[in-house]
Structure 1
Amino acid sequence: MTTVREATYDVMRRQAMTTIFSNPGSTEVAFLVDLPDDLDFVLALHEGSVVGVASGWAIARREPAFVLLHTTAGLGNAVGAIATARVNRAPMVIVVGQQDRRHLALEPFLAGRLEGLAGDYPLEVISPVRAQDVPSAVARATHRARRDQGPVIVVVPMDDWEAPYDAADVSAARVVRTPVPRTVDVADLARMVADAAHPVVVAGSGNDSLDGWDRLVALAERIEAPVWQEPFGSRAGFPQDHPLFAGHLPADRPRVREALAGADLLLVVGCAALRQYPYAEGPLVPDGVRVAVVSADPDEAYRSPAELALVADPTEVVRALLALLGPAPTDAEPPRPPLVEARTPPLVEARSPSGRPRELGLLRTSDRDHHSPLRSADVFRALADVLPRDTVLVEESPSSRPLLQAMVPAREPLGFVSAAMGGLGFAMPAAIGLKMALPDRPVVAVVGDGSAMYAVQSLWTAAQRDVGVLWIVMANGGYAVMDRLAERVEGKPPWPSFPELSVGRIAEALGCRVVHVDDETALADALDDAGSRLREPGGPLLIEVAVAPDTSFAP
């Protein structure tokens, strides 16, 4: 007799979801006992870390990850991570256990009101009407997660797994996807581009693929346009060492208008137009700038204040646009300089507490007192010297993010990964999933000590499974970004610093190898050694670097 559990295993095999990321409870035991040898079980010690590891795995593979959570407590603990997975476009099927179907009406212990617990962040929440419907529900969830690149929840009562399954009654059908036609109507967009004298491109996370980069490079060179990276993007949409890369677009209206001064067309590829952080009065872009948006995400297109929005694969749109524009005229005038000076790494502008612009300190080693604390710039300069070109850099160091992006540019797709949602607790576990899915690429995570505490238990998973991630923990003993924001409103914050916190000591207790660094010599030695081992087999390494708090932050 085939059971619902065995039929679901078959669905997972057909969908290449043979790795289970989980922190289970009693409602999941029946699914997990005597797990077949071809299914791999990955335990994380908190549900946020479970979804975080699965997110890294799914982002790297662009295929759904399988997540198993425990009723209300498990799903509730994971909601923040699920929200991040949705905004980061990480496809996953999240099976959530429920109490026994036969007495759910009485709301027994551990019965969960699960359908609305994660709000609107799942693409869909499926509650199979019968045990027989579970395998087909998992198959349906897989197809939806893959098509729309996000999390889908399936709620399964615990007694369903041992119920008999009759494939003749209802089948988890094999679904064959018809390829989306490659023909895209870009005539209107091509006219906008052809009419522009000073076009500017904004590259978004949705363009982070090898084909996406190659085609957008070709377009930028064809129309001689500077390319900015979207504000607060989760991925890089353009090679940041290319001469036309202009930097990271600011996230407030006055500075956006300043950056785009002189442009007459803003072409946004792979994101919405345009993500902001602090509210400021005035228009989003300078007067006279036409805006066109290209995104595969309908929500991004619909909410963008644009003259034209194309809902389509950005790679295919740019391909079609290049074909329609044709080669550059051979008798054209010499290429005009970009509106902004191309630079690698780009200059990063910050704001002082008074609101006046100032540059972040990119000081040479000789400019610094050797007895003063290390600063973020010292760490990132040393890090840039040792990282291979194909490094996957995972970021969760809010106060020093602008400086990190300026000094360690993304040079290949997946060269930068962050939490587009803005919540903490993503980078530590996501780095594990990324490395598991991409064992041949170096994976390095730069994490603040405050940020690390949101998912520090994920380090146990890396140690237990011997996953070779390098974490750089920026230990400034406080929430530096919060301190800077408090200074802007000229207020005194109620939160304390925590100089006694040592993420390194916690990491050691969780089984990781740890190096503590508080001077330039130790930093250089630690990074040189770690850099030489990034491609070698071996377990995780955490370098805890004592740094002075960043005094500038530019959202």
Structure 2
Amino acid sequence: MSEPKIQPVPVPTVRDAAFDILRTHGLTRMFANPGSTEITLLADLPEDLEFILALHEGSVVGMATGHALATDHAALVVVHTTAGLGNAVGAIATARVNRAPLVIIVGQQDRRHLATQPFLAGRLRGLLGDYPVWFNEPITAQDVPAAIARAFHEATTHRGPAVVIVPMDDWLAPYDLTHVLAAPDLVHSDRLASPAALTELATHLDAATNPVLVVGSGNATDDGWTAAVALAEKLQLPVYQESFGARPGFPQDHPLFAGFLSAARSTLRGQLVGYDVILAVGAPVFRQYNFEPGAMFDEGATVLLVTEDTDEAHRSRASVVVIADPAPALADLRDLVALVPSPRTVIPPHRAAPAPPKASEPIRASHVMALLGALLPADAIVVEETPSSRPDMHELMPARSPLGFVSAAMGGLGFGLPAAIGLRMGNPKRPVVAVLGDGSALYNIQGLWSAGHYNVGTLFVILNNERYAVMDRLAERASSAPPAWPAFDAIDFVALAASLGCTSQRLSDYGTLENVLTSAVADLADRTEPLVLVVDVEPEQHFAP
């Protein structure tokens, strides 16, 4: 009688160990566009790891960024070697400035012949510049799981993208379970302001005769909003939002909200004139656009800054900087300052909705913004990428929740469309609408395929003026000559959206637009399919960057 065959015990691989790390840290949804250097990682993927495909790396990283902002948890990205990572550079830069934690795994050629520079071997170090919060090329295959674990902690602590480069043969290498995992299981990174620091801030605020509060994306949490409102109401502080912020740091329909700081220094001086103490929270001091000479604020003004971002802290022109989590810092500061009983009169920056256009008049972006502002619920997530009409959105669609406004703080186009998809995937109970210029939408139009394929119920409103309107206006300021770039009036967005699996409709009549938007918004929170509305608009007659 033959003896039964002994089945060999499977030898764990680096890939197995890495998957356990992903599970431990809640990185089970993978945003990716794969290439051959990632096939050893991705083939026969376990069922509990969800693969989300996007058709371009800009869409991959944009979707992951939206997901990270929606969940307040790091998102996982997998991209191909040099070409894939190169395609993703702009989106990774946006993730950094938008304070989005990402764990990015990048494929590399087989370690065993990298020295000979084989086909697809990438010179990856330095390709992303200084935008990653952490970058690692593990020295051995055994170090890959620990590198991924550390990337999660680095991304979470520093609120940005952490990158790990993994040669394709590393994944299938046997993993020694006795190998030292050079990364912690859990990191507590609560950064609370010291009582002495808060007392110093309170002393300045109590001594001020005319203080003001400036908020930014670093305060865009429920707790941050609650604490900022409580402090502003106790001190009767007018509140400004940072310029070009990715998210709002204060409810923009609050009576103390005074508007958006200008990115032009001459205008900024006028906004801040007379304030003797300026408290900035989760915002740089102060973000500019075109260079203008002169001071940003009164020479005798005292600037205080509370931020978690050490880079932001060290580059800001401030008298006192406190590096701490803004929400508990503001809550504790509120308990220390003296009550100001006299209410201030702050004129909210919102303007009345424009009258609907007459039958002979064109639809303008402000008409669309006014309709959305009236129809959308307070918990709607609005993603903006329409530079020529951003001022209309700010004035007609005030953000009423911490994710009520999301934008690319880096300024590069192509973020809005995929970010709206990721935001909806990360928070499927909240309605999401992306308001995009037609030029902006084209940067990542293929992202619509992911929305259609994965049944993501985002509403995309494309403002179709058939040109780069913001560039046209900037050119008009610089020269009387016509711009060098042509219009792009032959693009059929409805056909494009349909080819990518999305229902779409083109609208050029205001009455029809009103009816369609009313219907679309009514069930937006429950939508399971994307909807693309292409609205023909004429450029606004006014524009301010």
What's the counterpart of residue 525 of structure 2? 535
What's the counterpart of residue 138 of structure 1? 148
What's the counterpart of residue 454 of structure 1? 443
Structure 1 residue 37, shift from structure 2 partner: 0.5
What's the counterpart of residue 221 of structure 2? 209
Q: Distance in 2 between matches of 1:69 and 1:200?
A: 44
What's the counterpart of residue 337 of structure 2? 325
Structure 1 residue 74, shift from structure 2 partner: 0.3
Structure 1 residue 304, shift from structure 2 partner: 1.0
Q: Deviations over 1:298-317 (max 9, x none)?
A: 11111111111111111122
The question of 1:23 aligning with 2:33 is answered yes
For residue 379 of structure 1, what is the amino acid of its counterpart? V
What's the counterpart of residue 222 of structure 1? 234
What's the counterpart of residue 321 of structure 2? 309
Structure 1 residue 175, shift from structure 2 partner: 2.1
| Paired residues of 1:145 and 1:152 also in contact (CA < 8 A) | yes
What's the counterpart of residue 107 of structure 1? 117
Structure 1 residue 490, shift from structure 2 partner: 2.0
Runs of 4+ in 1 over 4 A off after TM superposition: none
What's the counterpart of residue 92 of structure 1? 102
Question: TM-score, normalised on structure 1?
Answer: 0.94
What's the counterpart of residue 136 of structure 2? 126
Q: Deviations over 1:146-183 (max 9, x none)?
A: 11110011000001111100110233655232453645
Identity %: 51
One of 282, 286, 311 as aligned partner of 1:270: 282
What's the counterpart of residue 342 of structure 1? 347
Q: Distance in 1 between matches of 2:353 and 2:402?
A: 26
TM-aligned CA distance change 1:487 to 1:537, over 3 Å? closer
Q: Deviations over 1:380-405 (max 9, x none)?
A: 11111210110000000000001111
For residue 500 of structure 1, what is the amino acid of its counterpart? A
Q: Distance in 1 between matches of 2:517 and 2:477?
A: 35
For residue 342 of structure 1, what is the amino acid of its counterpart? I
Moved more, 175-184 or 228-237: 175-184
What's the counterpart of residue 403 of structure 1? 392
| Paired residues of 1:205 and 1:234 also in contact (CA < 8 A) | yes
What's the counterpart of residue 394 of structure 1? 383
Structure 1 residue 443, shift from structure 2 partner: 0.4
The question of 1:475 aligning with 2:487 is answered no
Q: Distance in 2 between matches of 1:393 and 1:200?
A: 27
Structure 1 residue 203, shift from structure 2 partner: 0.9
| 1:2-401 mapped onto 2 (5 Å cutoff) | 2-171=12-181, 173-178=183-188, 180=190, 182-184=192-194, 185-326=197-338, 328=339, 332=341, 334-335=342-343, 337-338=344-345, 341-343=346-348, 346-347=350-351, 363-365=354-356, 368-401=357-390
For residue 485 of structure 2, what is the amino acid of its counterpart? W
Structure 1 residue 28, shift from structure 2 partner: 0.4
Q: Deviations over 1:485-504 (max 9, x none)?
A: 11111243200111222322
| Paired residues of 1:376 and 1:547 also in contact (CA < 8 A) | yes
Structure 1 residue 288, shift from structure 2 partner: 2.6
Q: Distance in 2 between matches of 1:389 and 1:126?
A: 42
| Paired residues of 2:431 and 2:525 also in contact (CA < 8 A) | yes
For residue 540 of structure 1, what is the amino acid of its counterpart? P
| Paired residues of 2:33 and 2:56 also in contact (CA < 8 A) | yes
One of 484, 505, 524 as aligned partner of 1:515: 505
What's the counterpart of residue 416 of structure 1? 405
Moved more, 42-51 or 163-172: 163-172
TM-aligned CA distance change 1:491 to 1:153, over 3 Å? farther
One of 422, 431, 455 as aligned partner of 1:466: 455
> Is the partner of 1:535 in helix, strand or coil?
helix
Moved more, 488-497 or 200-209: 488-497
Q: Deviations over 1:176-204 (max 9, x none)?
A: 32453645221211111011111111110
> Is the partner of 1:283 in helix, strand or coil?
coil
Structure 1 residue 264, shift from structure 2 partner: 1.3
| Paired residues of 1:447 and 1:471 also in contact (CA < 8 A) | yes
Q: Distance in 2 between matches of 1:506 and 1:111?
A: 35
Structure 1 residue 413, shift from structure 2 partner: 1.2
Aligned length: 532
Q: Distance in 1 between matches of 2:280 and 2:299?
A: 17
Q: Distance in 1 between matches of 2:190 and 2:361?
A: 58
Structure 1 residue 362, shift from structure 2 partner: 5.3
| Paired residues of 1:47 and 1:69 also in contact (CA < 8 A) | yes
TM-aligned CA distance change 1:40 to 1:172, over 3 Å? farther
For residue 541 of structure 1, what is the amino acid of its counterpart? L
Q: Distance in 1 between matches of 2:143 and 2:15?
A: 11
> Is the partner of 2:526 in helix, strand or coil?
coil
One of 515, 534, 545 as aligned partner of 1:544: 534
Q: Distance in 2 between matches of 1:514 and 1:69?
A: 30
> Is the partner of 2:329 in helix, strand or coil?
helix
| Paired residues of 1:246 and 1:346 also in contact (CA < 8 A) | no
What's the counterpart of residue 8 of structure 2? none
Q: Distance in 1 between matches of 2:187 and 2:472?
A: 51
Q: Distance in 2 between matches of 1:477 and 1:45?
A: 24
Which runs of 5 or more structure 1 residues have no equivalent in the other structure?
A: 348-360
Q: Distance in 2 between matches of 1:220 and 1:169?
A: 53
Q: Deviations over 1:317-357 (max 9, x none)?
A: 2122112115x27xx5x33x34xx322x525xxxxxxxxxx
Q: Distance in 2 between matches of 1:275 and 1:505?
A: 40
Structure 1 residue 433, shift from structure 2 partner: 0.5
Structure 1 residue 64, shift from structure 2 partner: 1.1
The question of 1:525 aligning with 2:511 is answered no
Which runs of 5 or more structure 2 residues have no equivalent in the other structure?
A: 1-10
